[in-house]
Amino acid sequence: MENLFNQLGDAVGRELQEQKLLGSLVEAKITTFNLVELESLVLKVAKNELRYIEVFGAVVGGLVIGIMQVLFLVFFVMTSKKRCPPREHLFFITYFLMKI
């Protein structure tokens, strides 16, 4: 029974796409919307999607900055001949990271 409904839905969907009725149905539905309702709907969807973009950017940005800090520590501090890094190296690293 469920398979029959899936096949019927696929057939109707294909027919609507072929006759371009789906686009006209969507256009008619959007034109009947109140502008305030349409604006609130668009803002609701955009707010949700932009939040995910911001979170993804924060994670990727934090990862890139973290990797850069590790690389600076490895190249400037760990390769130093002394066991304890001189203060000049640490000030240089901090200054350089602040400029990025």
Is 53 inside any structural domain? no
Is 2 inside any structural domain? yes
Is 26 inside any structural domain? yes
Angle formed by the axes of helices 87-99 and 35-72, nearest 10°: 160
CB-CB contact of 96 with 77 (8 Å):
no
pLDDT of 83 reads 55
Q: What is the domain count for the chain?
A: 1
Is 22 inside any structural domain? yes
Structural domain of residue 3, as residue ranges? 1-32
Q: How far is CA 88 from CA 80, 85, 94, 98, in A?
A: 12, 8, 10, 15
Q: Helix, strand or coil for residue 22?
A: helix
CB-CB contact of 85 with 77 (8 Å):
yes
pLDDT of 15 reads 74
> Going residue by residue through the chain (100 aa), what tens digit of pLDDT does each one get?
667 777 777 777 777 777 777 777 778 888 888 888 888 888 888 888 898 899 888 888 888 888 888 888 777 766 665 555 555 666 666 766 766 6
Is 97 inside any structural domain? no
pLDDT of 75 reads 76
Q: Helix, strand or coil for residue 84?
A: coil
